[in-house]
């Protein structure tokens, strides 16, 4: 453990961070296959900022990191753990704990009020470590997927289908459910990379009653929402059957859905399978 140094990632080459990220997650429970372009997309989508991110270096080689996103939400300053990783040869040496301690001190100095992260529900050692350090479990998040060719086609003459993203910029989505999206699925995350998504909406009597997005390449649906009062009309499945045709992916995914989301029951009864679950945890710093 000689020549170990922990410092900000500010000024470190993007390629070096990407390579350390991929090496750290090479044996992750959820397969991590990501080009440097896809990593760049993730960084932009989640507002990852290397000024709020830290790395551990051994002889100037990046061997561990916590990359963080930064946002102001309802007047509060938040940081989000976009990825904590240690390359295999340096694990079980206490580096993750050192990175975490250094990061928390840094975030406090930067007046961050809340630090938020997601952790796999079966990663008991990590969960226990976070609880020991003052984190609180906020909610459980579930992930679902289905092969595109297993999705039934839905159609209705009662609604007008539109695909103009400009419509979303003007849309007040506060009356649509489910709300409280995870960090990576929030409205801001979509707007950060809007060109990478296809958009569809359903209208009735000149009123938007449902809308959704799908990633053009990955098949992830970050938001699928229905206007309150328009529940139980299969609008979600109308949109899914349309969005599936607008992505190159052969698999459609919903990731990090609140376990209490009304979407969960719909997905569970229409062929989607639950493939992984996480906990969202927060630490109040101020």
Q: What is the pLDDT of residue 255?
A: 97
Do 165 and 80 belong together in one domain? no
Do 68 and 17 belong together in one domain? yes
Question: What angle is formed at CA 21 by the lines to CA 50 and CA 281, rounded to 5 degrees?
Answer: 70
Do 155 and 204 belong together in one domain? yes
Question: 84: domain CATH number?
Answer: 3.40.630.30
pLDDT in tens, 232-251: 999 999 999 999 999 999 99
pLDDT in tens, 45-102: 999 999 999 999 999 999 999 999 999 999 999 999 999 999 999 999 999 999 999 9
Which of 112, 127, 158 delimits the end of a domain?
A: 112
Q: 30: pLDDT confidence band, cut at 50, 70 and 90?
A: low
Do 101 and 210 belong together in one domain? no
Do 155 and 264 belong together in one domain? yes
Range of the domain at 268: 144-278
Do 83 and 191 belong together in one domain? no
Q: What is the 3-state secondary structure (H, E, C) of 37-88?
A: HHHHHHHHHCCECHHHCEEEEECCEEEEEEEEEEEEECCEEEEEEEEEEECH
Query: pTM of this prediction?
Result: 0.92
Do 63 and 155 belong together in one domain? no
Contact 261, 132 (CB under 8 A): no
């Amino acid at each position: 453990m000689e020549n170990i140094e922990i410092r900000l990632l500010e000024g470190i080459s993007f390629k070096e961070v990407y390579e350390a990220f991929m090496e750290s997650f090479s044996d992750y429970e959820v397969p991590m296959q990501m080009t440097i372009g896809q990593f760049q997309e993730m960084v932009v989508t989640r507002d990852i900022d290397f000024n709020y991110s830290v790395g551990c270096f051994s002889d100037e080689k990046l061997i561990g990191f916590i990359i963080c996103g930064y946002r102001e939400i309802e007047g509060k300053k938040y940081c989000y753990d976009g990825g904590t990783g240690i390359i295999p040869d340096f694990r079980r040496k206490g580096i993750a704990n050192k990175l975490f301690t250094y990061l928390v001190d840094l975030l406090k100095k930067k007046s961050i009020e809340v630090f938020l992260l997601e952790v796999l529900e079966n990663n008991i050692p990590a969960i226990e470590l976070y609880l020991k350090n003052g984190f609180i479990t906020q909610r459980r998040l579930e992930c679902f997927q289905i092969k595109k060719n297993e999705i039934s086609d839905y159609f209705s003459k009662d609604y007008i289908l539109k695909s103009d993203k400009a419509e979303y910029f003007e849309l007040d989505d506060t009356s649509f459910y489910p709300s409280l999206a995870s960090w990576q699925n929030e409205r801001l995350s979509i707007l950060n990379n809007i060109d990478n998504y296809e958009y569809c909406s359903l209208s009735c009597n000149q009123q938007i009653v449902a809308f959704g997005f799908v990633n053009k390449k990955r098949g992830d649906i970050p938001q699928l929402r229905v206007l309150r009062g328009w529940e139980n009309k299969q609008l979600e499945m109308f949109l899914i059957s349309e969005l599936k045709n607008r992505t190159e992916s052969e698999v459609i995914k919903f990731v990090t859905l609140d376990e209490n989301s009304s979407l969960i029951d719909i997905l569970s009864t229409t062929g989607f399978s639950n493939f992984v679950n996480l906990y969202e945890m927060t630490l109040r710093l101020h």
